[in-house]
């Protein structure tokens, strides 16, 4: 379980740093993070999936890709003895292509929620 605590702290810090307000007057809000494994209990030497679910505050978004000056979400697993993260096999939930209404800029973003699934 210590691994999940480290993941939660790292993920929250990374996501909080990359969540961008959609409006400059909306600075209130908290990013919610839930972390679990599938299956819920993993035996030593066993395999499963680390699931990270984020809830994005209203009127905020997280960049999914790099288009121009946008800074996309990035993450890196914390090394833990006995745990192998298969990062290249990680899956992110689908994002949406959003067109900014005033300037017409196109961006790939997550609104409301997104999920990262990492085989371990």
Interval 67-105: pLDDT, tens: 777 777 777 778 888 888 898 899 999 999 999 899 998
What is the pairing mode between strands 19-21 and 96-99?
A: unpaired
Confidence at residue 82, expressed as pLDDT on a 0 to 100 scale: 82
Its domain, for residue 81, covers 2-20+29-119
The pLDDT assigned to 28 comes to: 56
Which pLDDT does position 11 carry in this prediction? Answer: 53
Which residues 6+ apart lie within 8 Å of 38 measured at CB? Answer: 48, 49, 51
* Residue 39 burial (10 A CB sphere; 0-12, 13-18, 19+): exposed
Chain length of the chain = 120
pLDDT, residue 4, reads: 40
| Domain count for the chain | 1
- Beta strand residue intervals within 1-120, DSSP E: 19-21, 32-38, 49-55, 60-63, 91-92, 96-99, 106-110, 113-119
Our CA angle for 77, 39, 50, nearest 5°, is 15
- Structure confidence by residue, pLDDT tens digits, 38-64: 999 988 889 999 999 999 998 888 888
The model's pTM: 0.68
């Amino acid at each position: 379980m210590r691994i999940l605590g480290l993941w939660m702290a790292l993920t929250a810090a990374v996501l909080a740093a990359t969540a961008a307000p959609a409006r400059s007057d909306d600075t209130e809000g908290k990013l919610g993070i839930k972390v679990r494994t599938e299956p819920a209990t993993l035996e030593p030497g066993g395999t499963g999936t680390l699931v990270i679910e984020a809830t994005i505050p209203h009127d905020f978004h997280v960049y999914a890709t790099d288009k121009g000056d946008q800074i996309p979400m990035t993450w890196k697993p914390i090394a833990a003895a006995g745990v192998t993260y298969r990062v290249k096999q990680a899956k992110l939930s689908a994002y949406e292509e959003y067109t900014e209404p005033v300037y017409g800029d196109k961006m790939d973003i997550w609104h409301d929620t997104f999920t990262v699934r990492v085989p371990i």
